[in-house]
Structure 1
Amino acid sequence: MLAKIYQPARSAMTSGQANTKSWVLEYAPESRRTIDPLMGWTSSDDMNGQVKLRFDSREAAVEYAERHRIAFQVLEPKKRRPTIRPRGYGDNFATERRAPWTH
């Protein structure tokens, strides 16, 4: 039973960084999903596929995995560089403006 420890990426629908500071321990699937022939639902015999644990730090997630003897793999996050542009939109509301802003 292999688990992966990673820091989730931000949602593609937002520009914010919410829910990207925590670390997640998630089990890799052990069995394939099957399709129910009558209803078309997917199911699996793997109960660990439903487990997703969140931790405040990478060290806490690694310590939890070691304490419970879970084989794990740590996936390092790719850091984004900030997209702060000089003289951007926020500068329209700066207090040190010399002339009033108009269209």
Structure 2
Amino acid sequence: MQSGRAKTKEWQLDYEPEQPRSVEPLMGWTSSTDMKQQLTLQFETKEEAVAYCERKGIAYQVIEPKDSAHRQIAYADNFAFRRWEPWTH
């Protein structure tokens, strides 16, 4: 599996739901009248995001990104006898 690191350097502001979602009785779809749940803002730095929240009076919580563990492997490890996952197509 390959995962890109594009757009991982930005800070993101997501709004918490202000109202619970409701279930529509006929079809069973969930809906909400809270439109802020659909809004996501991107910032270059953590300081910009915090300043925006303080300027607008938005309660915020900063979640620091976790460092991902990177294990260096060789191409030959794909064909090793004691492989973690079976090698199949």
Same-fold call, TM cutoff 0.5: yes
TM-score calculated relative to the size of structure 2: 0.71
Match in the other structure for 2:16: 28
Point out the structure with the larger strand share: 1
Q: Given the alignment of the two structures, is residue 57 of structure 1 paired with residue 74 of structure 2, yes or no?
A: no
TM-score calculated relative to the size of structure 1: 0.63
Paired amino acid for 2:33:
D
* Residue ranges of structure 2 left out of the alignment (5+ in a row): 76-89
Give me the whole-angstrom Cα distance separating, in 2, the residues matched to 1:68 and 1:62. Answer: 10
Deviation at 1:62, TM superposition (A): 0.8
Match in the other structure for 1:18: 6
Point out the structure with the larger helix share: 2
Residues 84 and 53 (structure 1 numbering): CA distance in 2 closer, same or farther, change over 3 Å? same
Aligned length: 75
* Residue ranges of structure 1 left out of the alignment (5+ in a row): 1-12, 90-103
Match in the other structure for 2:71: 83
Residue 73 of structure 1 aligns to a residue whose secondary structure is: coil
**Percent identity between the two aligned chains:** 52
Query: What is the root-mean-square deviation of aligned Cα atoms in Å?
Result: 1.7
